[in-house]
Amino acid sequence: MTAPILEMHHGIAVVRDDLFPGGTKARFIAQVFDGVQEAVYASPPEGGAQTAIATVARGLGKRATIFVAARTRPHPRTLEAARLGAKVVPISPGYLSVVQSRAREYCRNTGASLIPFGAEIPGAVEAIAAAARLAAFDPEEVWCAAGSGVLARGLAAAWPKARRHVVQIGRDLTPREVADATIHVHPRKFSDRAALAAPFPADPHYDAKAWELCLAKRGPGRVLFWNVAPLARG
């Protein structure tokens, strides 16, 4: 287990998991390849899981297949996944429900392993918690972006006594999904970029939006922000 790298920005301890190859999801996603040669994910065009899966697959010598909405110009995340060796399957119409349906059908026909939304797989929460405990920092308040809530639950397991805040990016979250963290809804859609850039490499569709609200609403004491993924290089 590799300990996260921390940096201080505006008095906030930032976990730089953008420096971890593939980002936070790459810490636990290898298990989806156990016993299979190919793993499949249905992704929104901006989704960071694309590059995490492609990175891990490349390291294992396995095949990653990404189903994603067809676009005239593919998103840099999708281009990077392809550059890392993933097979990209563009789907039209590109509604996520349609993309997911096609991915499920592909897995039924090929025997490939289907990765659930947000890579919500057994052991994910525990792997995140184990990494967080290695950070050598005892936060009184924790912030992160949330899509599926897996990261939020992992950080809750690591620091149950901290004040925990998540920034909802995309679909509506339930308190259970984020371990009863305070939920802040970012006003911009997932496909929109953050208004301000963070002082560290932060995904403009995801982590940068959470950073905006963390800066604006953080409380007193030791505050930690978890930056999930590296910037897409396309």
Q: What is the pLDDT of residues 187-229, one digit of tens each?
A: 998 889 899 889 999 999 999 999 999 999 999 999 999 999 8
Domain count, the chain: 2
Q: Is the pLDDT at 103 greater than 70, yes or no?
A: yes
101, 119, 137: which is the final residue of a domain? 119
Residue 234 is predicted with a pLDDT of: 59
93, 119, 145: which is the final residue of a domain? 119
Domain for residue 221, yes or no? yes
CA distances from 1 to 129, 137, 155 (A): 11, 17, 16
Residues 111 and 176 in one domain: no
Q: What is the DSSP letter of 179?
A: T
Domain for residue 79, yes or no? yes
How is 48-117 classified by DSSP, letter by letter? THHHHHHHHHHHHT-EEEEEEE--SS--HHHHHHHHTT-EEEEESS--HHHHHHHHHHHHHHH-PEEPPG
- Which range of residues forms the domain containing residue 80? 29-119
